[in-house]
Amino acid sequence: MIKMKYKGRTFTNGRSLANAMTRDMNQQVERTVRQAAASSGVRVRKTRKGFEVEGDADHMDRFHKRLGK
């Protein structure tokens, strides 16, 4: 039996490890998008299709620059 540790948790099942890593990755992406939106002055809504970003052209440019960092 192979045991792997990820962020303090021990996993023996590859599927549960993959689920935990995917969940953490999704949370990090959402956090990054929301932080970039908050600092640039645009609105972000999470829909079932993904994220919707609203704002004028200047704010959208700032959002894209911050998201690229």
Q: What is the mean pLDDT of residues 7-31?
A: 95
pLDDT given at position 68: 84
Q: What is the mean pLDDT of residues 42-52?
A: 95
pLDDT of 38 strictly over 80: yes
Q: Is 25 exposed, middle or buried (0-12, 13-18, 19+ CB in 10 A)?
A: exposed
- d(CA 49, CA 67) in angstroms, rounded, equals 19
Q: What is the mean pLDDT of residues 18-22?
A: 96
